[in-house]
Amino acid sequence: MMLLAVLLVATLIVGVVATTMGIQASHEQPEPPVTLTTTIRARTLSDDVEGQLMAFPHATVSVPAEGTVTRTGIAVGVNLDEGSVVGVVNERPILLMQGAVPMWRTLASGMHGEDVRQLQAALARFGYAIYDDSGSYGDSTALAMNQFLAALGYEAVNASNEPLNDDDWKQTAVPKQQLVFAPATPVQATSTCGVAGQSVAGDLCILETMEREYAIAFSAADVPGAGALEGARLSIPISGETVNGTVGKPYGRPRQYGAKADDSAKAVQTEGAANNTSSEDNRVYLRVDNIDAAKLQAASAAVDAGNIHGTATRAQGAADALTVESSALRMDGMKTWVLTEEGQHVDVETGLCVQGICEINGNNLAAGTVVVLPAPDGSAEGKGTGDE
């Protein structure tokens, strides 16, 4: 019995030692290497960058005035057509007409110039007959202006801003601050154009044209150079359809008509407010060209709210090209190659690469081919399961 007990104890000790040594040996053996793989796929790569569509007035127009507002003018947000009264100062109307040259002087009989031609063209659009030479302020221009003022309920004045008798209609003039030219109409008031009893010496209000210009704002990080996207195809989804155009040159802020030279700082401030952007917002503004502006105008509310974005395509890859993660590409001198799961080295030519995916072309490669990713530490590669 004693001998049997000794044998059992010895057997137990040997078993424990063997088990311990086996566990230790298993811990000392290196784990087999694991290699990640990925799959070649057919797809069409596109190098795209997204930006916010923005609308700006074609121009802003300052309305200068000096005196006392005797009738409250148009309110902020009101749209004005050509021939409308913007405001009334010293009981004289400030009239809106279309023209590219700002109102810079009093217009009266005997004067000549582009500003006179603009006035004549506007009066003709209102239905008045003009027989004077184009750009020459003569009797028919004076008569038309006299009749236009009367139709609005205001008396005519001479070049000294003095009321005229009916027989003196040939002396009808347009004092400098009683007419404002806008490069396009209709326009919209960005502020109320005077409140009755208000004293004014400067800008009565600012108008902006309803005609819009469109630009798309990209993050400066996506557009390293102002001309980097010029000519790129632009796609803008609006109301369930895609409106296409092209990216143009850098967009400059709208011009402000009618501002005096010493008002340049105010003009910049006004334009900045109209654009609702900052020169320090770290974005690049590029024009939107070759696009259906009517469709953009129809979505003006969404554009103004900042809800419309567009995609510019910098480069378009081949349709359904073979592609693989760039991390699967290996370099050997001037050659680029991939390693298939079966261990085959295949030289490849690369095409467009976008966000870590590259087009490739090589013998015996097809969609679905599994290739091995290089081991990050350069160790031996084995079979693994890591797909993208």
List pLDDT tens digits, range 26-69. Answer: 555 666 667 799 999 999 999 999 999 999 998 999 999 999 99
The mean pLDDT value for 74-87 works out to 96
Query: Is the model's pLDDT at 4 over the cut of 60?
Result: no
Q: Domain 37-44+318-372 is in which class?
A: mainly beta
Residue 30 is predicted with a pLDDT of 63
Distance CA 69, CA 93 (A): 10
| Beta carbons within 10 angstroms of residue 320's beta carbon | 11
Q: For residue 10, is pLDDT > 90?
A: no
Contacts of residue 118, defined as CB under 8 A and 6 or more positions apart, other chains included, come to 97, 98, 99, 100, 101, 181
Average pLDDT score over residue span 171-189:
95
344-362 residue pLDDT tens: 999 999 999 999 999 999 9
Residue range 36-47, pLDDT digits in tens = 999 999 999 999
CB-count burial class (<10 Å; 0-12, 13-18, 19+) for 242: exposed
At residue 319, the 3 state secondary structure works out as: coil
Residue 115: is its pLDDT beyond 90?
Answer: yes
Cα maximum dimension of the chain: 153
- pLDDT tens digits for range 83-106: 999 999 999 999 999 999 999 999
C-alpha Rg value of the chain to the nearest Å:
38
Distance CA 330, CA 229 (A): 31
Q: Residue 107 and residue 232: Cα distance in Å, rounded?
A: 48
Calculate the average pLDDT of the chain. 86
Greater pLDDT, 11 or 265: 11
